[in-house]
Amino acid sequence: MSIMKPMSLATALLLSLSAGTFAATPALDDIPDNAGYTTALITIPQPDPYQMVFQQQHLPPNNNEPGFQWPDQNKSAIEEDYILTGNAATFLKISAAQSSDLADGTGKCKLSPRTKYLTTAMPGFEGEHMTVTLKKPLPGCALTKGYVYMDHFAATSAGGAWQLPKNVRAFLDTLAYAEGTGRKYNYIFTFVTFKSYADHPRKTICHGDLCSTAAGRYQYLSRTWDTLAQDLGLTDFTPPNQDRAVMEIIRRAGAYNEVANSSDYKNFEKALATLNGIWASLPGSPYGQPTYSTEALWEQYTAFLAKYQ
């Protein structure tokens, strides 16, 4: 039986697949309902239970390929927990609401750009936000703990993508662009979102006759995630762990050296060709789904890389 790869979120809106009947197709009652999740952009149609196709994902076997050596994440090796803001001012908020809906001083407090704020523990993660408790109160602010928008921060003591070399970060940005997730770590197949990172959402979503559990920035199927989590000792689905897992896939596929040197077009092209059997949105993928051209992704890559120079 041929292996289908996880469809990118962008592809999900463009493609509606049909296929032959599965030998053992579960009843609709076996598919979890959508309670607790939100659908951002589309209404998901009711699938035909006799035509449903469930995506599968090939995970390269563990091997001795080289990969990125992550810094020691042992808590004792971290001198102090912190969050580091990016190039724009942002806010500490009393809730995950829009900052424009919150009152200054009591509902939100301004955080300066390019500033390191010490925290009492590593940040937590919830949806598109981190949850933090500052060691020191902010001037004129009634808040010491609250929510900060994840995308506004350059680094945290929780680790993750910011620790990677700039070429690798730009490549992951490009992969996420192709998969339609951008900088969002809380997407499920078809733009459904989740809040809790305690575990892979394990939510089966169908679009047309295609059903998938793909979730996270890099669209892991639940089975793929379970193998990676066990092999790497990952205890949750938080963004830093998603970043660790995608680097493990790249390592196992034997593509790390090309990704690490992807600012050279030939290496970039070779990396895409090595990984297009895992992510169906990449050029040359054999799964019959819409793909991006190498040239289009190179244009995105160079723009992403420029941010890290």
| Element spanning 175, H or E | helix 166-179
Check: CB of residue 146 under 8 Å from CB of residue 119: no
Task: Give the separation between CA 128 and CA 150, rounded to whole angstroms.
Answer: 6
Rg (CA), the chain: 20
Phi, psi of 250 (to 5 degrees): -60, -40
Annotated active-site residue in 79, 80, 128, 179: 179
Task: Give the separation between CA 275 and CA 301, rounded to whole angstroms.
Answer: 16
User: What is the number of residues in the chain?
Assistant: 309
Angle at 147 between CA 152 and CA 154, to 5 degrees: 25
Among residues 83, 8, 10, which one has the least CA distance to residue 41?
A: 10
Whether 126 is catalytic is no
Which residues face 133 on adjacent strands?
A: 145
CA distances from 222 to 89, 184, 201, 264 (A): 36, 18, 8, 34
Phi, psi of 148 (to 5 degrees): -130, 140
Enzyme catalytic residues: 179
